[in-house]
Every structure is written in structure tokens, then in C-alpha cells.
Amino acid sequence: MDSETLRFFLRVSELGSFGRAAQVLNISQPTLSRRIALLEREVRAQVFVRHQRGVSLTPSGLALERRAASLMQQLQHLHEDVGVSSREPSGLLALGLPPSLVTVVSGPLIEAYKRSCPRVELFIFEGITDELEEKLANRVLDIALMLPIRSKLHNVTVRPLATEQMVCVQGSPRFRGKSWLTVAELSDVPLILYRLPNYIRWLVELAFQRRDLRPNVVAEVNSLPMLLELSRQNVGLAILPTSAAAHDIRSGALHANPVRGMPVKWTLAVARERQGSLAVQALLSCLEEIVKRQIRSGKWNATLA
């Protein structure tokens, strides 16, 4: 079993099709099929099952995928560490980012980082905190920008980054002229909230419980785009970090009022085994500069930790 065969296997798994994988890998489909057949013979198990839509992993294939992804990542890190004498960041860097910060931090960060470190191959995984925490624990991610994690990860260093307020957003201005809203004022309005488990939903629930109140939830969602769209359509009001609705607030598509006593703290998590990597150090430096710049310019209404 060699690294190239594992790379072929992971590409088929990712794309769910031998044909599409062969095109991406720039090899013939029969060649790819033979390589996978040899792999199955070596591991003595079938790794793919074919169906009308393409292929999917068998239980043995799922087990191999987890190990293969980890091995390929370690190999990338090895190449980077061996070539560290060049003092130019290179190799693969896996970065976890939340949907809420895509406008104010994630987009500017990726643009600036790729410009300063063109030899680094970025893998970007977008997900909520629970998903990012799982990826960090399984060593899939090197760095993650996320809300506070609720379990202790022994292989990860976590530090505070910034704090911002939660806001209540709505398509039509319901609370015109009010600088702040209280949780009590939101107890009678129709709300659209994330479905649990979700850290933002947990913060909202906790704020209501402390005041012996219950939110009037008219719809639950599992994605930020849907949350914003339903708010724009006046299906209900949403409670979320300011950054998550920054674009809609600036354009006037949504009206926002900060909610008193409901701050959001963003943290930065770094895999300990990767802290010495030039690629990681460069990204941390770039992130720190982007966050400071966005806050000072007023594009991100937050305060540094």
C-alpha cells in the first residue's frame, strides 16, 4: 500500500464516483479501478459498494478512510517539517471556520493568507462549534476559530480571541429607536432559532432560563443562510452574533438591536503538535492582524480578548 493509492482511494471516496475521480486525478478510469482492486486485495476487504449514483464506502471502507486521511495528513506534515529550513511556509494546513464569521473575518483572512503564503495548500472546513471540536479531537484540523468548546481536548491549546454582542435581527424594524433589547422584551415575539445542539441556541436558552422565561420559537433551522432568509421574510426574529448578519445589516436588508446580557466569546484552538509549523505560525499572525484591523475599522463590532 503506497501513498499514491491512498490518495486515489480518498479522492474516489470524496467524489463518490470512479469516473469523476479519474478526471480529477488525470488518469484513466480502468487504471483507477485496478488500483482500487489491488488495494481491496491487500486489505482483504471490499471498500466501495457500487450503485446507480456512483459508489459509497462499506464499513471497511469507512475505517480505511479515517486511517488514510490521518496518514496522508501526517505525510504532508512530514514533508513540511523536513523542508522547514527554507523558512517559507508550505505544506497542507487544515483550518476550521464558523459560518458566522465568513464576512468579517474568514474571507479577508483567507485572501490575505494565500497572498502571503502561496505555497501552503489550505483545506477549509466550515462548521458549527460541535463539528469543529470533533474535527480537532480527531486531528483532522490544525486550527479552528470557534465559540468556546465545552470539553477539554488534551491535544489542543485554546485561547480567547474576541467578544461581541448578540443581536436580534428582523426584516421590518420592530424595535425602532431602541438602543438595547432585554430578554423579557423578546419573550413574546416569534423567534427563529438554531436547533440544538448548537452553542448559539444554548446561549439563548440559558438567558431565558435565568429569567424564568421561555422563547416563543416559531421555527428551528440548522443553517445560517436559512436563518437569515426567514428573518428577511419576516417569518420571525432571529438572535445571533452581530458578525453573522453583518452584510445584511450594512445593506439594510435586516435591522438589528443588540440584546443586553448576551455576549458571545470567540476562541482560537490550535493543535499542539502543529504549533511549531511555519504555516500555522504564519496563519496565526495573519489572523491576529485581520481581527485587529476589522475591529478598529468598525467592520466587526467586537472587542479584543
Residues contacting 256, CB < 8 A, separation 6+: 167, 168, 169, 242, 245, 249
Q: Which regions of the chain carry the CATH code 1.10.10.10?
A: 3-69
What fold characterizes domain 3-69? Arc Repressor Mutant, subunit A (1.10.10)
Which residue is listed with cell 497542507? 92
What CA–CA distance (Å, rounded) separates 182 from 172? 19
**DSSP state, residue 174:** S
What CA–CA distance (Å, rounded) separates 13 from 7? 10
pLDDT at 84 over 60: no
Dihedral, CA atoms, 192, 267, 210, 228, nearest 10 degrees?
Answer: -10
Residues contacting 98, CB < 8 A, separation 6+: 106, 126, 127, 128, 129, 132, 145, 146, 147
Average per-residue pLDDT for the chain: 88
Beta bridge partners of 145: 268
Q: What CA–CA distances, in Å, run from 165 to 30, 133, 152, 261, 293?
A: 56, 23, 25, 8, 18
Q: What is the pLDDT of residues 154-213, one digit of tens each?
A: 788 999 999 999 999 999 988 888 889 999 999 989 999 999 888 999 999 999 999 999
- The pTM for the full model equals 0.69
Question: What is the model's pLDDT at position 66?
Answer: 82
Cell numbers standing for residue 132: 469543529
Q: Which regions of the chain carry the CATH code 3.40.190.10?
A: 72-162+266-304, 163-264
Q: What CA–CA distances, in Å, run from 143 to 87, 122, 137, 156?
A: 20, 11, 11, 9
Question: What is the model's pLDDT at position 77?
Answer: 63
Question: What is the model's pLDDT at position 2?
Answer: 77
Question: What is the model's pLDDT at position 223?
Answer: 92
Question: What is the model's pLDDT at position 135?
Answer: 87
Which residue is listed with cell 523558512? 87
Given pLDDT bands bounded at 50, 70 and 90, which one contains residue 234? very high
Q: What is the pLDDT of residues 138-151, one digit of tens each?
A: 788 899 999 987 77
* Residues 163-264, CATH architecture: 3-Layer(aba) Sandwich (3.40)
pLDDT at 136 over 60: yes
What is the CATH code for 72-162+266-304? Answer: 3.40.190.10
Q: What is the pLDDT of residues 13-55, one digit of tens each?
A: 888 889 888 888 888 888 899 989 988 888 888 989 888 888 8
Q: What CA–CA distances, in Å, run from 125 to 40, 163, 265?
A: 29, 22, 20
